[in-house]
Structure 1
Amino acid sequence: MLAFTLRRILVALAVAFTVSVASFMLLHLSGDLATAIAGPEATGPQIVQIRKDYGLDQPLLAQFLAWAWKALHLDFGHSFYFRERVIDLLAARLPITLYLGIIALGVALFVAVPLGVIAAVKRDTWIDRLALSISVLGQAMPSFWFGLTLILIFSVNLRWLPVSGNATWKNFVLPAVALGYYAMPAVMRLTRNGMLEVLASDYVRTARAKGLPPRKILVRHALRNAVIPVIALAAVQFGFMLGGSIVIEAVFSLQGLGQLAWESIARNDFPVVQAIVLVLAMIYIGLTLAADLLNAFLDPRLRQS
C-alpha cells in the first residue's frame, strides 16, 4: 500500500506542476498583460511603468518561479477590478461553490445508485428501460435549460423555493438538483454495469446456493463490490461540478466561485482567473488522488496491479 500511495502522490505532483505551468502560460498567451492592466487610455510610459511594477519585464522563467513561490504561500496578488486580495475573494466565494457541489453530488448519488441497482436487478424490464431513458435524457438536456425549467415550476408557479441568492439552504435546492442531474447518468450507468457484472460472478451464485437472503446477497456481496468504481467516478464528477458550476451559479445568481470566474473573465481580471483555474485544478487532483487511494484500500487487486 505504501508503494502504491507514493506512486500516486508522485503522479499527482507531476500533474499539479503541469497544471500550474499551463495556467501561468495561458494568461501570457492571451496578450500583453501590462496593456490590459493599464487600460485602453494608458500612454506608453504608463504601460512601461506598469510592466516594471508587476515584474512583467523579467524573463518568463523568472516570472513563473516568482508566481509559483507566491502561489505556494497562497499569495495570488490583487484583483484588477475588485481591488482586493485574490485569496480573500476566493475565501469568500469558494465555500458557496463547495456547498453547492457537495449537495449536488449527494443528490446524484442518492438517486443514481439505487436506480442503477434496481435497473440491474430488473434487467430488460420496463424499469431498466426507464432508468436508461432517464440517463440519456440527463446527458442530452442542457443544464441551464433544466435550471430555468425548475425555476419556472417550483419558484414562479408553485412558489415553493426562492429563485436566486444564497441566503438560506432553500436557495441551494434547485441549483443542487440541476447540477446533480448532470452527474446522475454516468453514476447510474456505472452502478448498473457493475451490478450486472457482480451478480453474474461465481461468489454471488455460491451465496445463492447457500441459501442466503436475497437482500443480504444484494447489499453485502454485490453492491459492496460494484460500488468501488463509483467512488472514483464520484470524485471525478465532483471536480467537474466545481468547474462547471459557472452556468448554474449564473442561472440562480449564486455568488460562488463560478460566478466570480464569469465576472473576472468578462472584466479581464487575470489574477483572479489564474487563481481560480489553479485552485479548482488542485482540488480536482486531490479528489482523484483520494479516490485512487480509497479504491486501493477497498480492493487489494488495484495495489498489486
Structure 2
Amino acid sequence: MLQYLMQRIGLALLVCVAVSLLAFTLLNASGDVAISMAGEEASAAQIDAIREEMGLNRPVLVRYGEWLGNAVHGDFGNSLFFRQPVAELIADRLPRTLTLAVMSLAVMLLLSVPLGVLAALYPNSLIDRAALLIAVLGQAMPNFWFALVLIVIFSLTLGVMPPSGSATLKHYVLPAVALGYYSTPPMMRLIRQGMIEALSSDYIRTAKAKGIGTTKIVFKHALRNAVIPVVSLSAVQFGNMLGGSVVIEAVFGIHGLGFLAWESISRMDLPVVQAVLLIVAVFYIVIVLLADFINAWLDPRIRIQ
C-alpha cells in the first residue's frame, strides 16, 4: 500500500510541474504584456522600458523557474490590473468557488445516487426511463439558461431564494442546483451500470440464497462495489466544477475564482491567470489523488495491481 501511495504522489508532483510549465509558456506566448500595459499609442522605447522593468526580456525558462520558486512559497507576484498581490486576490475568491463546488457536488450525488439505484433495481421499466429522462434533461439544457429559469421561479416569482451574491450559504443554493444538475447524467448512468453488474454477480445471488434482506444487499453489498468508479468520476466532476464555474458565477454574481479568471483573461492580467491555472490544476490533481487512495482502500485489487 505504501509503495502504491508513493508512486501516485510522485506521478502527481510530475503532473503539477508539467501543467505549470505548460500554462506559463502558453500564456507568455499568447501576447505581449508590455504592449498591453503601455497601450497602442506607446513608443517602442516605452514598451522596452516596461519589458526591462518587469523582466520580460529574460529567457522564458529563467522567468518560469523564478515564478515557480516564488509560487511554491505562496508568492504569485502582483496583479497588473487590480494592483495588489495575486495571493490576496486568490485567498479572497477561492473560498467562494470551493463553497459552490462542494455544494454542487452534494446536489449531484443527492440526485444521481437515488436515480441510479432505482434505475438499476427496475431496468428497462418506466421507473428506469423516468430516471434517465430526469438525468438527461440536466445535460440537455444549457446551464446558464437553467440558472436563469431558477432565478425567475425561486427568486422573482416565489421570492424564497436570493437571485445573486455570496453573503450566506443560502445564496449558493440556486447556483449549486444549476451546476450540480448539469453534472448528474454521467454519474447517474455510471451508478446504474455499476449496480446492474453488481446485482447480477454471484456473491449477490449467494446473499439472496442465504435470506439476506433486499435493503442490506443493495446498500451494503452491491452499492459498495458499484461506488468505486463513482469516487473517481466524483473527483473529476469536482475538478470540472472548480475550473468551469465561470458561467454560473457570472449569472449569479458570485465573484469567485472562475469569475476572476475571466476578468484577468479579458484584461491580459497574466500573473493572475497563471496563478489561477496553477491553483485549479493543483486542486484537481490532489482531488484525483485522494480518489485513487479511497479506491485503493475500498478495493485491494487496485493497490495490488
TM bucket, shorter chain: over 0.9
- The one-letter code matched in structure 2 to 1:222 is A
The secondary structure found in structure 1 opposite 2:80 is coil
Percent identity over the alignment? 56
- The one-letter code matched in structure 2 to 1:164 is S
Please name the residue that 2:253 is paired with: 253
The alignment's C-alpha RMSD in Å is 1.0
Q: In the aligned structure 1, how far is the partner of 2:240 from the partner of 2:200?
A: 32
How far is 1:69 from its partner? 0.8
Please name the residue that 2:67 is paired with: 67
Q: In the aligned structure 1, how far is the partner of 2:61 from the partner of 2:37?
A: 21
Matches within 5 A, 1:35-114: 35-114=35-114
Counterpart contact for 2:112–2:135, Cα < 8 Å: no
When normalised by structure 2's length, the TM-score is 0.98
Matches within 5 A, 1:116-265: 116-265=116-265
Shifted more, 242-251 versus 127-136: the winner is 127-136
Q: In the aligned structure 2, how far is the partner of 1:147 from the partner of 1:139?
A: 13
Q: In the aligned structure 1, how far is the partner of 2:266 from the partner of 2:156?
A: 29
CA offsets per residue over residues 205-262 of structure 1, 9 Å max, x none? 0000000111111111111111111111111100000111000000000011111111
How far is 1:40 from its partner? 2.4
CA offsets per residue over residues 14-64 of structure 1, 9 Å max, x none? 211110011101211112222123232332222112111111111121111
CA offsets per residue over residues 260-302 of structure 1, 9 Å max, x none? 1111112111111111111101100000011011101110011
- The one-letter code matched in structure 1 to 2:152 is L
Q: In the aligned structure 2, how far is the partner of 1:20 from the partner of 1:168?
A: 34
Structure 2 segments unaligned to the other structure (5+ residues): none
Runs of 4+ in 1 over 6 A off after TM superposition: none
- The one-letter code matched in structure 1 to 2:30 is S
The secondary structure found in structure 2 opposite 1:227 is helix
How far is 1:136 from its partner? 2.0
The secondary structure found in structure 1 opposite 2:244 is helix
CA offsets per residue over residues 113-139 of structure 1, 9 Å max, x none? 111011100111111001111222222
- The one-letter code matched in structure 2 to 1:178 is A
Paired residue total: 305
When normalised by structure 1's length, the TM-score is 0.98
Counterpart contact for 2:33–2:268, Cα < 8 Å: no
